[in-house]
Amino acid sequence: MIRARSLLPALAIGLAALTGCGLKPMYAGGAGGAVASSLRSVQVQTIPGKGGWMVRNALIAKLGGDAGATAAYRLEVELDDNITGFGIRGDRATTRERRTLRARYRLVELATGSVVLDATAGSDAGIDVVSSQYATIAAEQTALERLSEMVADQMVGRLALFIARTPGNP
C-alpha cells in the first residue's frame, strides 16, 4: 500500500519540473484571474427548447453569472437533441435508447461582430426502456439533465482554453 506521505516528494519534484517547461495554470488567480474574468464577460444567448434552457443555465452558472451590459462576447448555441431506439426484441419492442445531445457554438466578439471561435461539443447516454412508461420518461429526463451539464462543461473548458491562448491574456 502506498502512503500519501511517500507521494509528496515525488509530487513536489513533478510540479517543479512542470514550471520549468513553461506550463502554467489556466485558472491562475482563481476568481480574480484573467481567464475567470474573461469568462464572466460572456453573454449566453437564449437557446430554444427544454435542453436549451438546461444548457444555458449550466453555462451561466459555470461562466460565473450572466454578463449582461458588461459583456465582451456573445455565445450563440444550436442544440441537437436526439433519442434513438435500438436493442429491438422479437416483438419489435425497443429495449434500449441512446440520447445524444450535440451543440454547435460560436463565440462572437461584440466589439467587432466577428466570430472568434466556432466549435462543437456533445455527449450521449444509454437508457434502459422498461415496462413502466413513467420510469422510461424519467430516465430520459435524467439523461438530458446529465448531458446538459456535460456539454456545458465541454464548452466552458474550450472557451477557457481559447481565452487563455488569446494574445493579451497572461
Whether residue 83 is contained in a domain is answered as yes
Give the distance from CA 162 to its chain's centroid: 14
**Cell, residue 46:** 437564449
Question: Which of the residue ranges 29-33, 51-55, 63-67, 78-82 would you say has the lowest mean pLDDT?
Answer: 29-33
Q: Is the pLDDT of residue 5 over 50?
A: yes
Q: Is the pLDDT of residue 150 over 90?
A: yes
Residue range 72-118, pLDDT digits in tens:
899 999 999 999 988 777 787 888 999 999 999 999 999 999 999 99
Whether residue 3 is contained in a domain is answered as no
Tally of domains within the chain: 1
| CA distances in angstroms from 143 to 65, 138, 148, listed in the order given | 25, 9, 8
pLDDT recorded at residue 98: 94
The span from the CA of 54 to the CA of 50, in Å, is 6
| Residue range of the domain that includes 75 | 25-165
Residue range 159-169, pLDDT digits in tens:
998 988 876 65
Place of cell 431506439: 85
CATH number of the domain that 38 lies in? 3.30.160.150
Whether residue 14 is contained in a domain is answered as no
**Cell, residue 25:** 495554470
- Residue 110's contacts (CB-CB under 8 Å, 6 or more residues apart) are 43, 71, 72, 73, 74
pLDDT recorded at residue 16: 59
pLDDT recorded at residue 17: 57
pTM over 0.75: yes
Closest by CA position to 125, among listed 161, 159, 94, 101: 101
Whether residue 110 is contained in a domain is answered as yes
The span from the CA of 75 to the CA of 110, in Å, is 10
- For the chain, the average pLDDT equals 83
